[in-house]
Structure 1
Amino acid sequence: MLKLSMLLLCLIVAAAAAGRYKADAAVREMRGELHKLDNAKAEELSKIQVLRAEVAYLESPENLAAIATTMTDLEPLTGAQLLTAEDFELAFGAGEPSPLRNVAAMDRKVEVAQIEPLAVN
């Protein structure tokens, strides 16, 4: 009976050792993958930082002004180019009546209604 229990105990110890080895190998493999992912993350973060710096350079007012002067012949607006709302309506047609005019007319009616005296009984 002692030999059978000793054999069973040896099998249990061998199975535990094999399980421990398998778990240890899996942990090593996962650590390797984690290290690879950390490296990939660091590379992506550095690429993002470079792209942000490039965007900041490209969107800088000095750079945009230089591009605008070399690529276009745009100039600042003059007073003659500006239109008032009435000039705009004359030039391009009235179209639909402006809702703002109706609101202004309603405001005037409300003001008149508020001025009327109240009858006292």
Structure 2
Amino acid sequence: MTARNTAKKPAQKTSASQAAAKAADPVPTEPEKPAADPVPTEPEKPAADPVPVSPAPEEAHPSPWSEVTVAAEGAPGLNLRPEKTTDGMPIGSLPNGMAILVGPDEDGWREVKGAGWVLSEFLA
């Protein structure tokens, strides 16, 4: 029988400089792959020119309301009535020179927008 050398080798001690050198070694990485060729796409189409929209002529949709001025000569103002009649009590008074919005003339009366009725003859 042959004797085998079963003696253990003494453990090698690593110096601090050897450990630092080993840590500084870069870790091998895979080489970067070249970027893939871009997928061809259709060129962007320019946006269609907007269709010009002209404002509607004022005659097409005239407002039923017009601005007038109270002009009750010889009186401090003009009576505002709930209906197209001088019967009954007025619901208010509009001073001379006041600008108001009124509807079209109806039998000598005009509706004051959101308020009541006045006689057309006292408006300018």
Say whether the fold is shared (TM-score over 0.5).
no
Higher helix share: 1
TM-score using structure 2 length? 0.20
TM-score, normalised via structure 1 length: 0.20
Larger Rg: 2
Higher strand share: 2
